Chain A
Amino acid sequence: MARWQFAVTTVYHFIFVPLTIGLAPLVAIMQTAWVRTGNERWLRLTKFFGKLFLINFAMGVVTGIVQEFQFGMNWSEYSRFVGDVFGAPLAIEALAAFFVESTFLGLWIFGWDRLNKKVHLACIWAVAVAVNLSAFFILAANSWMQHPVGARFNPETGRAEMESLWAILANNTLWAAFPHAVAAAFLTAGTFVAGIAAWWMVRLVRSGDETKVALARDVYRPAVVLGTVTMLVAGVGVGLSGDFQGKLMFEQQPGKMASAEALCEGTEGASFSILTIGDLSNSCEGVRHILEVPGLASYLGTGSFSGEESYLPGVYDVQAEYTERYGETNAADDPVSYTPNLALTYWSFRLMIGFAAGSAALALLALWFTRGGRVTGNPWFARVGIWAIPTPFLASSFGWIFTETGRQPWVVAPNPTGIDQVRLLTERGVSTVVSPGMVLASMIVFTVLYGVLAVVWVRLMHRYAVEGAPDTVRDESPEAQADDDADRPLSFAY
């Protein structure tokens, strides 16, 4: 139950997070373009996407508050075990990033007519840097759970203790996960900007009205190009960092790699299956791979397609090895399965790759349609643009589902080259004083509340996207307002 609750609240939080992380820098770039060139098109785009950014940011904030306390509420045993190590990145995240983003976002929202133009621009850049910084620190915490480094085990207290903060921040798992997550966030935001702008461009071009076509060319086409270029760069980044991460995973968490491939027996030159039928519910019996790329799985894991060095261990090998190393039974004398849920890891891995690759491929298409200053009125271009928007969100969600469920049954996975005692089974991490009824109640409360908020969020995002960029924009900065009378209403008020 606690697992479900954590999964629901985290996946929900992570719907909003990538858009925030990616969109903040894009809005900052748009505003920079306006401040530097004075071209009003960029101010209109800044205001347009800025509004959508804020609608999204609010949801990211409120869903994030829950996460900060959920460790203690539902996972108190885990918190006791890892607190000495895990708490530090969390506290640093709050001090170094949350304060900056919340304070400077307030300045940005309300400061259009209060702050010097350059200072106001600096505020959104501070937000953009801080949201990425917070991603770094929270991923540092998560990467430590996947691959604990810089810690020792104190047998007297039975806890993990921090030995070196630098080792935790230099964790190679972190340096693979951070670029991957940030690139995915940029892919999300790039697709979001390009998709909405594409829909607007097509709509205006199809109206046939001269001024509207000019508007499409002048305002929305640059946004499409900005979005698609971001998508392409991010798509390449996602691929490269993902490949690097796969190779690390092979060394550090062979169980996850094996279950990602639904690979039962260890093999050389293992194939990457694209389609598998059969019952994957945690047993290898009945797994049938029907569409395969030979050697690719081995390449993803080891860097070679065939031969001895391409050997990938299967879930049987991992189970045998872990049983020998960490015991057959848990504290309650029940046998432990060291195999994650095969169906979940297998499919989430494929869906992640599929959705991300699809969205990056669309970017190429979009660039072709808008080459050399062209605008298009092709209705399919708009449709594809809109349908592309959710795909990176799905890819991100599936990526996280894969990463997190592939780590099971561990909440702190043992590091094969680290200290064996720094490990914790998920079942040992839950709070012992919290009754299942209470967790169920809070689970229902959060699910219902989040459901209602999601409906509001979708409607607002949708409607404000359809509303489009403002027709008139005004430079409200104090230096542009010669008649600085104090009676003017605020440029923005809740």
Chain B
Amino acid sequence: MDLAIFWFALIAVLWTGYLVLEGFDFGVGMLLSILPRGRDPEHRDKERRVLINTIGPVWDGNEVWLITAGGATFAAFPEWYATLFSGFYVPLLLILVALIVRGVAFEYRGKISDESWRRRCDVAIQVGSWVPAVLWGVAFANLVRGVELDAGHQYVGGLWALLSPFALLGGLVTTVLFLLHGAIFVALKTSGDIRERAVRLAHVLSWVAVVVAGGWAVWAQVAYSAPWTWAAVVVAAGALAGVVVTTRRSAEGRAFGLSAVVLIAAVVLIFGSMYPDVMPGLDGGESLTIGEAASTPYTLGVMTVVAVILTPLVVAYQAWTYWVFRRRLSVRDIPAPAGLTWKKIKDAAF
């Protein structure tokens, strides 16, 4: 098989890893104010901490899938990397800022025991989860739809061209799918009250996803895709129907597996629509093809060896991490806040 095509598929796999794993991270972040209930602020904070700690040990490792997808694109398709990131400048900038504030907020939230500090961190976590959840969808929808490139493969469409109805609907699709994925993950990882609420929410969201994601997938398939990706649309539809059923029965394990299948099918649809380009041209204009964007056979060969050895290892030890932290969490597991107070921090003196 042509190595460039293999790498196109491998990058799709890296994005799949990212969207499946960070998908529920984003979902959990977005649900931070939605799921916790009750009048008692202390209890509400504990419920928020339950949510955050369901992804506590793993969110950082999940995010590396994005870094690796970026690095792999640079190594295997430098033209794609250069055109994509200089072309989608503003969305990427917003995503980066969101990921920065979100990461810091996770780590620093518990370091200071102060109500307003925690509130600010919660805002940062939510903004840092909503913004990428929407923008990744917008970006991928644009890759499906095609973008305006010049003969030198530079993106010349400008910022507003990225905000077509199709792209905005794509943003809505990822947001809904990540919310759903996150709600199911919370249901799977918690026990008690919060678990029941998460299941109920997931069931409602699964119906929303049927409408929104179903509509977008059919639009993408009819307008921009090859016949064979109907298979991905059908699989996604079947899996989503399964999510509707399993969330009604509180079978979280199966629901989680099925919502992961939905995301995998979405990536197959997206990359299948792009093939054989990495950036299709808008309305049949200039395209950047896999062959034009690819590195030399030597570089692709070297990278193949590296990827084939390391990727299974990564999957293995990340799976082990999930096994180590497999226990469900509830408010009883959350220790008292261990951070310092602002007063102490202000009084600090060397």
Q: Which residues on A are within 8 Å of B, measured CB to CB?
A: 54-55, 57-59, 61-63, 65-66, 68-69, 71-74, 76-77, 79-80, 82-88, 90-96, 98-100, 102-107, 109-111, 114-115, 159, 161-163, 165, 199, 386, 431-434, 438, 442, 445, 449, 453, 456, 459-460, 462-464, 466-467, 486-487, 489-494
Contact = CB atoms under 8 A, between A and B. Distances in A.
Given A96-B310, A386-B350, A490-B53, A103 B61 contact: yes
A494 B72 contact: no
Interface in B87-132: 87, 89-90, 92-93, 96-97, 99-101, 103-104, 106-112
A199 B349 CA distance: 12
Contact of A493 (B78, B110, B306): B110
B340 A59 contact: no
A159 B295 CA distance: 10
B318 A466 contact: no
A159 B324 CA distance: 47
4 shortest A-B CB distances, which residue pairs?
A83-B78, A72-B85, A87-B75, A87-B74
Contact of A115 (B64, B324, B333): B324
A95 B314 contact: yes
B299 A434 contact: no
A80 B93 contact: no
B212 to A, nearest CB: 29
Contact of B60 (A61, A72, A88, A433): A61
A161 B73 CA distance: 16
B58 A449 contact: no
A73 B299 CA distance: 22
B74 A79 contact: yes
Interface residue tally on B, bucketed by range: 35 or more
A494 B76 contact: no
A449 B85 contact: no
Contact of A94 (B67, B83, B86, B111): B67
Contacts of B307: 95
A66 B68 contact: no
Given A161-B296, A431-B86, A466-B348, A90 B75 contact: yes
Given A100-B317, A442-B93, A494-B52, 16 more contacts: A58-B108, A69-B92, A80-B78, A85-B299, A87-B72, A94-B67, A99-B314, A99-B318, A106-B57, A106-B321, A159-B78, A162-B298, A433-B156, A445-B97, A463-B348, A493-B335
B60 A489 contact: no
Nearest to A115: B324
Interface string B254-284: 0000000000000000000000000000000
Nearest to A74: B86
B74 A83 contact: yes
Contacts of A57: 107
Interface in B320-335: 321, 324-325, 327, 329, 332-335
B79 A434 contact: no
A83 B89 CA distance: 19
5 contacts: A84-B78, A165-B302, A445-B93, A464-B340, A494-B107
Given A61-B103, A86-B74, A98 B64 contact: yes
Max chain B CB contacts within 10 Å: which of A66, A88, A114? A88
A494 B75 contact: no
Nearest to A137: B71
B81 interface: yes
B341 to A, nearest CB: 10
A456 to B, nearest CB: 7
Max chain A CB contacts within 10 Å: which of B52, B96, B97? B96
Contacts of A445: 93, 97
Contact of A107 (B52, B79, B321, B350): B321
B208 interface: no
B56 interface: yes
Nearest to B306: A92
B287 to A, nearest CB: 17
Given A94-B64, A464-B340, A73 B78 contact: no
B168 to A, nearest CB: 21
Given A92-B306, A99-B314, A494 B49 contact: yes
Interface string B9-28: 00000000000000000000
Nearest to A164: B298
A492 B53 CA distance: 9
B162 interface: no
A74 B89 CA distance: 9
Max chain A CB contacts within 10 Å: which of B49, B72, B299, B303? B299
A438 B74 contact: no
A165 B71 CA distance: 16
Contacts of A467: 340, 344
B286 interface: no
Given A62-B99, A95-B68, A83 B81 contact: yes
Contacts of B111: 55, 460, 464
B314 A434 contact: no
Nearest to B314: A99
A73 B85 contact: yes
A93 B71 CA distance: 9
Nearest to B51: A494
A73 B71 contact: no
B35 interface: no
Contacts of A71: 74, 81, 85
Contact of A494 (B56, B58, B327, B348): B56
B84 interface: yes
Given A106-B61, A438-B90, A91 B85 contact: no
Nearest to A104: B317
Contacts of B156: 433
A94 B17 CA distance: 14
Nearest to B337: A493
A49 B307 CA distance: 35
Given A76-B86, A83-B81, A489-B335, A110 B57 contact: yes
Contact of A433 (B154, B324, B329): B154
Nearest to A430: B86
B214 interface: no
A76 B70 CA distance: 14
B290 to A, nearest CB: 15
A428 to B, nearest CB: 13
Contacts of A432: 154
A460 B340 CA distance: 9
Contacts of A434: 86, 89
Contact of A88 (B53, B61, B302): B302
B67 A65 contact: yes
A69 B70 contact: yes
Contact of A66 (B64, B72, B96): B96
